Amino acid sequence: MALATSNFVIYHTDNPYTHDFHVTCQPYSMPKPTRGEVEASLANAIIQFEKDHLGRGPLEARVFIVEDLILIRLRGVLTPAEVKLTQTPDGQKLIKEVRRQLLEGSRPLLEAIVEDGTGSRVVSLHTDISVKTGERIIVFTLTENLERRFG
């Protein structure tokens, strides 16, 4: 029988003939997540962030690890009211500015999501939203080349 704790796996045997009880401890480490697992986890966290902090989640979220970058592509982020506003140049500017300010105000939370998900610190964040396609791109630059970690 084995018992897993956060730091050790404890094996014990109980000999029914001698009633000997023996405990041995071996270091136990959680398996490291794969590249795909990290990308999927970040996509789910970003979708939840969008729902919680912007009121509506994207229709699709994809995350790509590219060397020391995390590239996030969100499709279908505009609300029906925003789609209506995109019909004028002033409305397009307004949507871009409001979305930029909303994201900038939540920047510490976004950085924490990425840092927790990757184990690497965020150096910078860049973003833009297309009022034509309703797509948003977010790029995080990290302190570590994650492709080296995942091979």
What is the domain-level CATH number for residue 114?
3.30.980
Number of domains present in the structure of the chain = 2
Question: Within this chain, do residues 25 and 50 fall inside the same structural domain, yes or no?
Answer: no
Would you state the pLDDT for residue 150?
86
Do the beta carbons of residue 115 and residue 40 sit within 8 Å?
A: no
Residues 40, 22 share a domain: no
Give residue 29's pLDDT band: very low, low, confident or very high (50, 70, 90). low
Does one domain contain both 7 and 57?
no
CA distances to 3, 25, 59, 68 from 148, rounded to whole Å, are 33, 32, 31, 9
Query: Residue 8 sits in which domain range?
Result: 1-30
Q: What is the mean pLDDT of residues 15-28?
A: 54
By the 8 A CB rule, do 85 and 99 touch?
no
State whether 132 and 115 are in the same domain: yes
Cβ atoms of residues 71 and 39 within 8 Å: no
- Looking at residue 151, its pLDDT comes to 74
Residues 21 and 39 in one domain: no
Same domain, 9 and 70: no
Examine the domain organization and report whether 15 and 81 are in the same domain. no
